[in-house]
Structure 1
């Protein structure tokens, strides 16, 4: 059974406007949402992956742009906004002629009274079943955007562990195929990266 996956941080326009100093080398035309969303539409229409995970999707653009445009291409999608007053979040889409959604689970990484879980980052989980009749095959798709702060690896680790617990809950602890997508704000071969690959973590590799 073959399927394709794409993951994009689409850079919410409100975050771009708030942090324009990060993009001072870019031509202003290329920073406009109208310009960028047309390129996204063109690229997604060209590749049409079976599963699409997005981060930094503005809440309004999910309903008025991404969802209607991708529905035209045969996708079904769900959205989870970041908590508090944040305006962006994670969106996950899949081709409904390829998969059925058995269940879903929005994840929040803000837990009152827990210092390392006091941020507004979120995740979105889906348990998909192929339309093809493959006995007992289920696919868990996890989409998240972890904290940016490069000095708070402890927070990223706590968020990642919360996401993993959510995956375990959604799959009832059964061994299932998992596709993990997102913006992890981590470098390849970082402590968090190695933790995902090996299930082990050397705490000296996590910036506190």
Structure 2
């Protein structure tokens, strides 16, 4: 599917700018920041979204500077205790970022949300922004960028973090259109997915809503890492989503690559600079 400039919304998950993260089958050259930064910028330019949401961004100043030449401005919120700062030659802490085309949208407000577990603060964050459409004073939209707790065994924590984000949006968004883009680190079988599906906000998952079988994609991440037993461990799953309120209409989605396109060494690679695939869609107000 071909995407024309300035007509879509995209969600991109970027890995950390340094370190190999045990991606043993990925060529070291493909993992280098010198290569990955070019591939990331190339992908953003190819899709040219009106709104761009990113997680694990430990290079916000770099991205803001580069994307400014394409007409973007952006906001960022850092993770409270980022593992990035422990890395050699790190670029700073990571967090969630949102970029938008300044000729199309105006930033009304941007609020960091420290996701909570039954009232207790956690190490995961979200960024919730209110944007106004410049050619229509009556149209505004809330966009949330979220990154929930990773790894198996933390289903309950992700559940509570998702509840907190939903409660925040329910309190602040009113009846305005809502988009939530996130690395949920949760399969469609987890409670947090059910909460978003059944929320009072009336949310639906873009990729599920547009699929022929009304199911999420087979995968949004597919990687091979070296395990603690020195054996390669393969992980293929869907954990990334774009959620929208029902007062938004979906006109197109970016196709998920086929198995053969990804290749036997999986993600990341020279072609795909992240271990997560980019999700994107075109939306219209109803």
Per the alignment, residue 153 of structure 2 pairs with 151
Per the alignment, residue 81 of structure 1 pairs with 78
Q: Tell me, which stretches of 5 or more residues in structure 2 are unaligned?
A: 1-5, 84-92, 201-286
Displacement of 1:165 in angstroms is: 2.4
Per the alignment, residue 16 of structure 2 pairs with 12
Indicate the structure whose relative CO is greater, using CA pairs within 8 Å and at least 6 residues apart: 2
SS at match of 2:103: coil
Aligned with residue 105 of structure 1, among 105, 108, 111 = 111
Displacement of 1:30 in angstroms is: 0.8
Stretch moving more, 116-125 or 74-83: 116-125
Deviations 1:152-208 (A, max 9, x none): 11111111122122223432xx211101101000123443222211239xxxxxxxx
Per the alignment, residue 169 of structure 2 pairs with 167
Q: Give the strand-richer structure, 1 or 2.
A: 2
Q: Tell me, which stretches of 5 or more residues in structure 1 are unaligned?
A: 201-208
Per the alignment, residue 198 of structure 1 pairs with 198
Per the alignment, residue 49 of structure 1 pairs with 49
Displacement of 1:101 in angstroms is: 1.1
Kept after mapping to 1: 8 A contact 2:8/2:47:
no
Kept after mapping to 2: 8 A contact 1:77/1:92:
yes
Within a 5 Å distance, the mapping from 1:111-122 to structure 2 comes to 117-122=120-125
TM-score (norm 2): 0.60
TM-score (norm 1): 0.82
Aligned positions, number: 186
Deviations 1:102-148 (A, max 9, x none): 1111111257xx5x84531100000111011252x221000010001
